[in-house]
Structure 1
Amino acid sequence: MKILMPTILLLPTTTLCSTKQLWPMSTIHSFTVALLSLQLFKSSLETTLCHSNYFMGVDQISSLLITLSCWLTPLMLLASQNHLTTEPITRKRTFTITIIILQISLILAFSTTELIMFFIMFETTLIPTVVMITRWGNQVERLNAGTYFLFYTLIGSLPLLIALLSFNTKNGTLHLCTTLLNQTPVPNTWTHTMWSFALLTAFMIKMPLYGLHLWLPKAHVEAPIAGSMILAAVLLKLGGYGIMRTTMATYPLPKKLHYPFTILALWGLIMTSSICLRQTDLKSLIAYSSVAHMGLVIAATLTQTKKAYTGATTLMIAHGLTSSMLFCLANTNYERTHSRMLLLTQNMQLLLPLMATWWLLASLTNMALPPTVNLMGELIMIVAIFNWSHVTILMTGLGALITAIYTLYMFSSTQWNELPSYIKTISPTHTREHLIMALHILPMMLLMMGLTLNS
């Protein structure tokens, strides 16, 4: 409640403050909320659910994700300032209010202890995201991208709602603590398999699982910078969080369901990583890399072991910061060249040398080079999947190799090669942009130091 109430108070602050004070007030207030959210790390050290009331509580998984979503809100506001320069003040207020509503729904989704409340908040995040993509998107295709995103998620959510209602009818409650206490192994019947499939469908689309991922590149490419940041950093993790929560309540998963999903996730890791190698659009490349990383998270969480959950949570936090930073870097190029094509935005190292340093750091974390947090998360998950089946090391190893190749391809394409002839002059980088990059790298460095000291 200490975090939720200040976030809600951001709404009247944004609505009532003067025109000149809109950006400073909203950014400073959201930074204050982000710093307040750091106290949730205390909850991540405890093994049980810390309740603030009957309906809300945080544990080791949700506390980290709430902190991540709070930390990204001021960064989204900072990154969007140039994009909204020509907009009238009413639209600037509307944009800021949309971001705040999205943050409120995410905080409620991660902190609720009732599964039906989680479902409502899960669906609520759709509305501000679709508004952001369709109203402030960059290209003509933004309406098509918003429609894809909306209907993919809505169609997947209907089976989830039916599964939750049937679960409530059977157990009499959807409270997480009661569900975990009353947990009994369910017979491996066809009915239970279909019920588990319905329960996981919406989260598999949200992650997204390979084959259900067609909405993601469209949404990322057409979304404004704030939309791309929150989609990659937090909204995909909402799917992973949902899988962890529901699989904890439905232990064990039927093998008929477990095998196909795991195979699809690991196959998707290789396929989407390979697709990245032939991308010409920078934002599309970063979007497909998110699908590849989330494929590994899906495969790990389906093993339903503590080690897998630890690795999945670590990678979700690390990937959230890394992918958000990559989208911010892509946006700095786009604002100057008005193109996302890799062939038309080469040799940026010559024109923006300091930005090349941020590109290098973001690429190294995306490759999961030691001693980054990404590497620790990936190693824990690969070990957990390997313990489940030894054959999987071939797919996870190949996926890690291709990830390194396409990340180097992305870095070399943007920073080296010949400078395009049409670029004569380019505006220099701003302090605001370097601040955004620094605030992405800083948490990763602190987490890296914390994990190194603890180990």
Structure 2
Amino acid sequence: MLMITIPLLTLLVSAWLAPAKRLWEITTAQALIIAIASMTWFCVQGTLPSLNPYLFIDEISSPLVVLTCWLTAPTLLASQSKLSKQPIPRQRAYIFTIIMLQTTTLLAFMADNMMLFFIMFESTMIPTLIIITRWGAQKERMLAGTYLLFYTLFGSMALLTALLFFHETFGTLSMSLMKGAFMEYSSSTCMTTWWAACFVAFLVKMPLYGVHLWLPKAHVEAPIAGSMILAGTLLKLGGYGILRIGVMINDTFLTTATPLIVFALFGVLLSAILCSRQTDLKSLIAFSSVSHMGLVIAASMIKTEWSIAGAMILMISHGLISSALFCLANTSYERTNTRTLILLQGSQIILPLAAAWWLMAALLNMALPPSPNFIGEMSILASLFQWSNLTLLLTGVSIIFTTAYSLYLFWSSQREHLPSHIKFLPPVQTREHILLALHIIPALTLTLKPGLLF
């Protein structure tokens, strides 16, 4: 634990004390060191003993902790172009806010006590709101912040009430101790109500289709770092919470979850259809996240070995690929000052290397074999088919629309004729190639050994 804690504290200090001329280089280098050091957590077997009784790492949290550490450096790299033109105090505040957001996310993934998890779960909202409302590009960022605040608080009140009830009933909030206590209880009305209250906060965070309206607004208005962290790690807090609570709940609750699984699968289909109708690039990528997270919700509710493994793989691979797509969207936006797809077409003629990154990201996003997205989705689809044969119809149509919007994304942003208003686009910088490589290469590497994630 100290191997990560000390560099992380150093990084927080460096945001304020590093020399102004080397601020971005020093903080990015430190973030990369933390990411490389966190790789040792891939080898966790069982529960890793911790110096603190309130923090622990096991097989569920270790891949998500590594993902959080890994995405810190790319968020700093992606923000450098725009933020380096602002006053130094503002740059330092921006870097500090990003690091605080990643730190609270890390603590949420490592929390053993459910109340500590709740506090960290909610604490992530504060830096997220600051990033969106302070550094967002348009005036609608205040409305996006309001949506995020009220949707999150609505779900969190139910979770807090459930935790207080649980502590009153069982006398503990330790995840290590609560597993045995839960298994003794059957699916009574009181416990089913507790189960539903717990899941409301996580389903809003994922988000489940129907309570997803905050996500496209937040993505569209957030700066690049906000979009990358939202897609890469913050949505995974919801999946992590569902997996944690799912382990503690008796299998008799599975029948109660049937309507939620069916609704989640309908959400996958409807989100994929909505993606095919989007004209805004970031909005399309945001709706694709809703579609992918619907599969994770359904898989987490089924609670078979294949479904849990598929949910973990899909969460990690989606975190990398979705973050890469937002980086590519930002690359296009910085050169054209627009996110409208019809105004971005034909970019491949001027920026062929960027088009290659677009093609790889789009193919990975639509789960081309043998990508980690494909491995995760196939595991989920196999467990869904075993749960009910009728799910094949919904998932089959969803796959068709997922393929359609992924190809639409690539074709609309790269192919066709170059618009007449675009006369010159600056070439893609080495920094941007490194940024995209930090997303795509790990995703391709996980294809060789997906067992690292479960």
Same fold by TM (over 0.5)?
yes
In 1, Cα distance between equivalents of 2:453 and 2:407? 31
CA contact (8 A) 1:217 1:288 kept: yes
In 1, Cα distance between equivalents of 2:430 and 2:391? 45
**What is the letter of the counterpart of residue 387 of structure 1?**
Q
Q: CA deviation at 1:255?
A: 5.1
Between 119-128 and 178-187, report the one with greater CA deviation.
Answer: 178-187
CA contact (8 A) 1:62 1:110 kept: yes
Aligned to 1:356: 355
Find the residue that maps to 1:83 and give its secondary structure: helix
In 2, Cα distance between equivalents of 1:393 and 1:163? 35
Find the residue that maps to 1:369 and give its secondary structure: coil
Q: CA deviation at 1:250?
A: 2.1
Is it true that 1:212 corresponds to 2:211 in the alignment? yes
Instruction: Map Cα deviations across residues 144-192 of structure 1 (whole Å, 9 max, x no partner).
Output: 0011001100111001001011111111111111111333243323222
CA contact (8 A) 2:231 2:322 kept: yes
Aligned to 1:15: 16
CA contact (8 A) 2:329 2:339 kept: yes
Aligned to 1:3: 4
Find the residue that maps to 1:429 and give its secondary structure: coil
Is it true that 1:38 corresponds to 2:23 in the alignment? no
Number of corresponding residues: 453
In 1, Cα distance between equivalents of 2:82 and 2:60? 34
Aligned to 2:178: 179
Aligned to 1:427: 426
**What is the letter of the counterpart of residue 13 of structure 1?**
S
Unpaired runs of at least 5, structure 1: none
Q: CA deviation at 1:283?
A: 0.3
In 2, Cα distance between equivalents of 1:349 and 1:15? 40
Q: Within 5 Å, which residues of 2 pair with 1:18-167?
A: 18-43=19-44, 46-48=45-47, 50-167=49-166
CA contact (8 A) 1:196 1:253 kept: no
In 2, Cα distance between equivalents of 1:184 and 1:298? 22
CA contact (8 A) 1:50 1:59 kept: no
Question: CA separation of 1:433/1:176 partners in 2, compared to 1, >3 Å: closer, same or farther?
Answer: same
In 2, Cα distance between equivalents of 1:400 and 1:60? 29
CA contact (8 A) 1:197 1:257 kept: no
Instruction: Map Cα deviations across residues 267-297 of structure 1 (whole Å, 9 max, x no partner).
Output: 0000010000110000000000000000000
**What is the letter of the counterpart of residue 66 of structure 2?**
T
Question: CA separation of 1:170/1:109 partners in 2, compared to 1, >3 Å: closer, same or farther?
Answer: same
Find the residue that maps to 1:368 and give its secondary structure: coil
In 2, Cα distance between equivalents of 1:416 and 1:404? 17
Between 81-90 and 427-436, report the one with greater CA deviation.
Answer: 81-90
In 2, Cα distance between equivalents of 1:420 and 1:86? 29
In 1, Cα distance between equivalents of 2:410 and 2:438? 21
Question: CA separation of 1:146/1:253 partners in 2, compared to 1, >3 Å: closer, same or farther?
Answer: farther
**What is the letter of the counterpart of residue 190 of structure 1?**
T
Aligned to 2:403: 404
State the Cα RMSD in Å.
1.6
Instruction: Map Cα deviations across residues 293-348 of structure 1 (whole Å, 9 max, x no partner).
Output: 00000000001222211110000000000000000000000000000000101111
In 1, Cα distance between equivalents of 2:210 and 2:279? 21
Using structure 2 for the length normalisation, give the TM-score.
0.97
CA contact (8 A) 1:326 1:359 kept: yes
Q: Within 5 Å, which residues of 2 pair with 1:135-284?
A: 135-252=134-251, 254=253, 257-284=256-283
Percent identity over the alignment?
Answer: 50
Instruction: Map Cα deviations across residues 353-400 of structure 1 (whole Å, 9 max, x no partner).
Output: 000110011011001011101100011111111111111111112111
